[in-house]
Structure 1
Amino acid sequence: MHRVGSDQGLSPRRGAGKYEKVLPPSGRRNCSTRSDQTRHALNPSPPNPLGGGGAVEVVGVDVPGVVRRGGEARLGCRWGGGGGRLYSLKWYLDDKEFFRYLPEETPSLLSRPLPGVNVDRERSTGEVVVLLGVGVGAGGRYKCEVVGAPPTFHTADKSATLTVLHVPETGPVIYGARHEYHPGELARLTCISPRAVPPPRLQWYINDRLAPPEYTSGLNTSKTSSDGLVESRLGLRFTVGAQHFQGGQLKLRCAATIPGLYHKTRQYSVGDGPAQLNVPVMESRDSAALAGDFMLMREAAPLIKA
């Protein structure tokens, strides 16, 4: 199955203002004529490193499985067939085109900005695209599409998913706690996590026991900021009884967790002595531990290949 490689007004000759010219690694700006040396600078790899004739095909797409927000991501597209000739090679994020390589056009490399996607123009060649300062918006499904040379314009593509992480360094915060509670009074508290991606899961504990579901039912919400980070909120509502006091104290604790990456808690205690609010407990983990968990995750799945 194939389709004609029409760009619907998005080619370099039409609508060029929607794209940004990508300079060759040498930094040369005079691209009105293309010598063999310039062509090699723009595409240092052979036109078809895998060889073979027939219809063009995408052999594989290499995408990092997990990248920290603000980090670097290197995307690779391996193709073959088509007699080693291409009309175009394009990159999409969730079906939105952001980079194209047209070997017979001038300029041959063009990029279009997307939220969170910042192409390194010096190191991107088409078959390889390097993203710098990855934002939350860069997470999603990346597709490499190749279109063979005329007259057939055979088309093929493959995709792989990239996940962007932002792990906070601080713990959750408790709001609404009172200095003292008496049996029969209504306790209404809210736990708010730091902004993160993916959002932390929140849980309430009463005297080191998980709060009954009816105490938190319908009180789980989230808020997404303009930069894509998510703040989680979980309320706790119950009528205080004598059974909630153990040794004269009532302990209320909120835990925020991103499995394998992040676990911090905040505790509020009220009883015979002065009330204690927002006191970190022993199971909170420092940034060094988080970094170690992240590296283990990277080692387990360093690269997604499709």
Structure 2
Amino acid sequence: MLASVTGKGVCLCTILWILDTKGVFSLKNVTLSIEPSVVQYRNTSKLRCTYDLEGDALYTVKWYRGSLEFYRYTPSEKERDKRKQAFPFKGVTIDVDRSDSTQVTLNDIDFVVSGEFCCEVTTEDSHIHALNNCKSMVVVQLPEHPPEISVRGEPFDYGDILRANCSSYRSRPPADLTLILNGITVNQTEPLALRKLRPTDYSDLQLELKLSDLHFQEGQLNLQCVAQVSSVYHETVGLELQSVRHPVPEKVSAPNTASAASTASSQTIPLRLFCFTMLCFNAESVIKILIKTIPASCVTYYTVVATPVCDYTDIRINSLDKFYALIVVINLINIKMPHNDNPK
């Protein structure tokens, strides 16, 4: 009896050894990686499949999205079109030139491609053996702009109600929002599965909080809004709120000396004049034009003074015609008149 049992044991071990030498258990370590696994809409992702053949011959590598095979590599095929085969796959373009026995490149990826991907490796010897590995891909659309914060009721003090709103632009999936006050989370959106939103939508988060001394940090209130989409988008905006406990000093500006001088003397008269003369700048002709243009109260002054005291800026002289008539454009003239506190 013992010899019989021993004989059976020797037979079983022999069978296992023979199977092992035939390579049935040689293929191992089949691993799929997706780079990136979270893909922006209409972008590219590369799927890599690594494996250890342990000396066996590679028969095929097949790639699946769910149960749909979309790419196959068969090294025994001599023709390129048969060695690399791409099958119809809605929502993606397969880059065959950048695909081989260990990787496949997907371009122009649409939202419908989100899901589980698998690679299946098959070896060929006296037996055929296959192993596969699967990973998930998510296709997202990111917000075009950072989130925005709006606040009502400033300035704030102990006991006041802080009403704030944070909103994020349209994305897919809608962004998760978090409001943080002085480093402490005070509100955040519900998990996406609990929110009744469209696949692509705006996100909005409101806050109504009664403030206490615990919310102030050295009299300051700093509110932040964090928007996050999966692992590929993380944007933070901050706002320093006006606080009674931390007043902002009033801005002190230097006096405007030019304005003061203008106010001090009401007899400085800015005039815009267009002087047309046949001479290159005859003072007497200009004076005559000024007398007709300026207020009547100034006429006596210009009658007495031979040449007016003027500041001329940006004077342009252009030839008009064959008579060499000149246009003198005086853009700004400040006529400074004598100031007499005791008129007679």
Report the TM-score when normalising by structure 2: 0.43
Q: Which has the larger radius of gyration?
A: 2
Structure with more of its chain in helix, by fraction: 2
If the length of structure 1 is used for normalisation, what is the TM-score? 0.47
Normalized per residue, the structure richer in strand is: 2
